[in-house]
Amino acid sequence: MNGNELVKLIDTTLCTACRGCQVACKQWNEMPGLRTRNFGSYQNPPDLQWNTWTLIRFQEYEDKDGNFQWIFRKDGCMHCTDASCVKVCPSGALYYTDIKTVGIHHDKCIGCKECIAACPFDIPRYNKETEKVTKCDLCYSRIQENLPPACVKSCPTGALSIGPKDEMIKKAYAKVEKLGGDANVYGDKFVGGTHVIYVLQFKPEVYDELPVDPKVSKSIFVWKDVLKPLSLIAAGGVIGGSLLHYFTHGPHKPHPEHYSSNEKKQGGA
């Protein structure tokens, strides 16, 4: 392995929502399946959750002319170049890997949840039992063995692919050109460029839970560049975390518990 910059491309126009990726992720990462209820949708769990790092979102969309499309979007960590979560993480649990993705050392996580507040894409999730935050690490251990992430490998239709950044961005733009209309590439133009990019058929505002203009909050710059070094020296990560909380306004409310976590953890646990 080496330090090349990799990008995962999600071509939503090829996705069949088979959810091979959603389950393959749990299988490889040994995350349990938990109890859910059907809430009137194929989507389940209803949202990303501590045991669900990648989720297919189902959305019925009818445009103003009555054209109908069932939209499938794989949601998960975008692996920002300018990653708010890494900036705010007081313990060093979240870090940039040599392939420029955002890795996570679970043992270092102190459960301060500041990354959850900071993330412009609303990705990290907190596990009450372990008191740690979880998210996708793009299967860093697999990439080190030249294996694709579990989600990419499982994908039947080529909706998911991974490769050198330039190549993937080129591929994405070529596809968008072929599609025409409102098709667009999402991800390469903000937060320093993400390492997960989308080919979207419709404008970003059409999609559920997809920010149109994701940004790193200004206060995070203040924290990152001025105060974090001081606080770490002064009082260690935990106090640092609460100090950070004072500066940042979390864009997200606490996530509801969609299901109980005390159900049996068969399969992968």
* 7 is a contact residue toward another protein (CB under 8 A): no
Is residue 42 near another protein by the rule CB under 8 A?
yes
Distance of closest approach, residue 253 Cβ to another protein, in angstroms: 21
- Choose the binding region for another protein from 150-158, 210-218, 222-230, 249-257 (rule: CB under 8 A): 150-158
Rounded to whole angstroms, how far apart are CA atoms 249 and 255? Answer: 16
Q: What is the 3-state secondary structure (H, E, C) of 53-120?
A: CCEEEEEEEECCCCCEEEEEEEECCCCECCCHHHHHCCCCCEEECCCCCEEECHHHCCCCCHHHHHCC
User: How many residues belong to the chain?
Assistant: 269
Q: Under rule CB under 8 A, which residues in 121-140 are in contact with another protein? A: none
d(CA 105, CA 82): 19
Nearer to another protein, 64 or 213 (CB): 64
Position 142 contacts another protein (CB under 8 A): yes
CA distance 203 to 175: 15
By CB under 8 A, residue 166 contacts another protein: no
Give 103's strand partners.
95
Q: How far is CA 234 from CA 57, 115, 237, in A?
A: 43, 21, 9
Q: Which of 92, 128, 130, 156 binds another protein (CB under 8 A)?
A: 156
The three-state secondary structure class of 213 is coil
Instruction: Identify the residue among 64, 65, 68, 253 touching another protein (CB under 8 A).
Output: 68
> Can residue 179 be called a binding residue for another protein (CB under 8 A)?
no
Residues of span 246-265 touching another protein by CB under 8 A:
259, 263-265
Interface ranges with another protein (CB under 8 A): 1-2, 4, 6, 14, 16-24, 26-30, 32-42, 44-45, 60, 62, 68-70, 72, 99, 141-148, 150, 152-158, 162-164, 259, 263-268
